[in-house]
Structure 1
C-alpha cells in the first residue's frame, strides 16, 4: 500500500491517462480510506490483468494545509507509515489535468466532475440532480459506511488476496477500522449499521486472521474508542485550525452572503477563552467571506454531553438578529437556549443549549431558511 502511494505521486499532473479516485470534501476517515483503498485495488487489478491503460490516483478532496485537521485520518494512516508526503490533495492538481482526467467518486456522487465520472460508490440516497453520465456505473446503497461498499467490491474481485500479505493486511485493516467507526461500533442506539456492514466487517476480520504472520486483531470496542479519541484530539491545533476542522458554510442564492458554522469538540465558552481566539475568528470571517459566524460546541465528559452556541455578526446585523430570534423560538426541535449573560466576545450572543440532542444538523435548516430569504 505504501509503495503504491509513493508510486502514484508520479501520476500527479502527468500526461498519462489517469482516473482520479476522489473522496468527498469532508475528508473524514470514510472518504479518505475509500479513496486510497479503491485506487490501490484497481491499480493492482490493472497491473495483473492489463485490461486498461489508465492509472488510478487517490485524491483527498481538501487543500493539503487542512490535512492536519483530520486527526483521525492522520492517526489511522500513521499506523501504516502513511504520511502526508505520500498522499495527493485537491490543490496538488492543475486545472488542465482535472479537465482531461476521468473520475471515480467515493462517499459522494454530486460533483463538478460528474459528467466525466466512470463509477460511483456512495451510501447516500441518490440525488436526481447529480448529473452523472449515462455510462457511469453506480454502487449506491444505504449502508452505514461507504467502506462497506468498497470492501464488498474488493472481496468479490480481488485477484490474489494472499499475494502481498503486508499490503493486504493494510487494505483490510483500513476498511475494517472505518466500518467500525462509521457504524459507532454497530451500536443499536446509533442505528447506523446494516446487515451488509456486519457481513463485510466480519469477513474482513476472518480474512485478517488467516493472513500469514497475522497479528491479533484489536477488539472492536478498543479500536472504536481509540478512533473516537483520535478524532477528538485537538491538542496540536491552532485556533484558526479549530475553526476550519469541522466547518459548514451556507450561502444565499447568489453567494453574496455566507454564514460559516464551525463545530468544535469543546464548548464555545472554552474556545473563546483562548488568547488568540478573537483574532482567529476575525481572520477566519475574512478568509471565508462570512457575514455571520455561528460557533457550535460540544463537550463529552464522563458520559455527560454539553452543547453551546454563539452568533457573531460581521456584516449583516439584521439577519443575525433574525437568526438568533428563530433559534430561540424554534420548537422543531426546541433548542432550549439559555443566555450567557456576562459573555461579551466580539459583541456576539452566546447560549447554552439545554436540548443536548439538538445538533448542527438541526440548526442548519433553520439558518438556511432565513438566509434564502435574504435579498439578492
Structure 2
C-alpha cells in the first residue's frame, strides 16, 4: 500500500498533464470508514484496472484539516504510512479533469454528491455504500469498508495482504465503538472471520477497538477553534444551517 501511495503521489508531484484518472472519494464528513474505503478500493482498482488509467484515492477534505482526524492518523502510523503520501481534495482539481473528459469517479460511503460537487455527477461510474444500500437504517449499521472488502475478496482475494486486512478489519470494527458489538451484521461477521482466518496474527478485536476508541480522545495541543472543528457536522434545512460539534473527553478530565 505504501509503495502504491508513494507512486501516485510522485506522479502528481511531477506536474505533468494527467490523461485518464479514476478517483475514489468518500463523503464530505470524511469519517474513518470512507477514508479507509477510498484508500483500499483505489489500490484494488490500480491492481486490477487498465494500466493507462491513474487510480487514486482522494480524501474529501483539505490537507490542513487532517490534523483533526486522530483515529486515521493513529492507524496510518501503526502501518508506517506517512501522511505525505496521501492525496487531499486541494491536491487535485477534479472539476477541471471532468471538464476535460479525463475523469471517472467511484463514490464510497455516500450515495450522492454534495451540491458543491454536483458537476461531477457525469463522471460517476460506481457507488459503494454501506451494505450496498442507501437507506438510512442500513447506513447506521453498515460499513462501506465491508462492501469494499466483500468485492476484493470475491474478485481478487490474492490482493489482500495483512496490511490491507488490518485496514479493512479496523474500519469495520470501528463501527462497534458507538453502537456496541451486537451491531455487527452477519455479513460483516463473515468478512471479519475470513480476514482473521487468513491472517491469524492480526491483533485481537478487543485490542483494535480499544486502541481506536482511545485515539479519538487526544485533543491536547488543539486551540479552542480546532477542538470545536474536529468533529463538527452541519445540518441544513433550506436557508437555515446549524453546526453541531462533538468534543470527546474523559470523566477524570471533566470532573
Which bracket does the TM-score occupy, shorter chain normalised?
0.7 to 0.9
Once the two structures are superposed, residues 294-336 of structure 1 have per-residue CA deviations (whole angstroms, 9 ceiling, x without a partner) of xxxxxx538xx99xxxxxxxxxxxxxxxxxxxxxxxxxxxxxx
Task: Find 2:226's aligned residue among 241, 251, 254.
Answer: 241
Deviation of residue 142 (structure 1)?
7.6
Query: SS at 1:264's partner residue?
Result: coil
The aligned counterpart of 2:106 is: 104
Equivalent-residue separation in structure 2 for 1:11 and 1:103 (angstroms): 19
The aligned counterpart of 1:208 is: 199
The aligned counterpart of 1:301 is: 251
* More moved, 70-79 vs 111-120: 111-120
TM-score calculated relative to the size of structure 2: 0.84
Query: SS at 2:55's partner residue?
Result: strand
Residue 175 (structure 1) aligned with residue 174 (structure 2) = no
Deviation of residue 86 (structure 1)?
0.3
Residue 45 (structure 1) aligned with residue 36 (structure 2) = no
Deviation of residue 183 (structure 1)?
2.8
Q: Call closer, same or farther: CA 1:192–1:90 in 2, change over 3 Å.
A: same
The aligned counterpart of 1:160 is: 158
Task: Find 2:186's aligned residue among 186, 195, 199.
Answer: 195
Deviation of residue 3 (structure 1)?
0.6
Deviation of residue 83 (structure 1)?
2.2
**Aligned-pair RMSD on alpha carbons?**
2.6
Assess if the C-alpha contact under 8 Å between 1:22 and 1:60 holds in 2.
yes
Equivalent-residue separation in structure 2 for 1:242 and 1:141 (angstroms): 27
Once the two structures are superposed, residues 61-101 of structure 1 have per-residue CA deviations (whole angstroms, 9 ceiling, x without a partner) of 01111101000000011111212210001111224135441
Unaligned residue ranges in structure 1 (runs of 5+): 128-139, 163-167, 210-215, 267-299, 307-376
Unaligned residue ranges in structure 2 (runs of 5+): none
Assess if the C-alpha contact under 8 Å between 1:19 and 1:102 holds in 2.
yes
Once the two structures are superposed, residues 258-287 of structure 1 have per-residue CA deviations (whole angstroms, 9 ceiling, x without a partner) of 432222114xxxxxxxxxxxxxxxxxxxxx
TM-score calculated relative to the size of structure 1: 0.58
Aligned residues: 240
Task: Find 2:38's aligned residue among 18, 35, 40.
Answer: 35
Residue 261 (structure 1) aligned with residue 244 (structure 2) = yes
Query: SS at 1:160's partner residue?
Result: helix
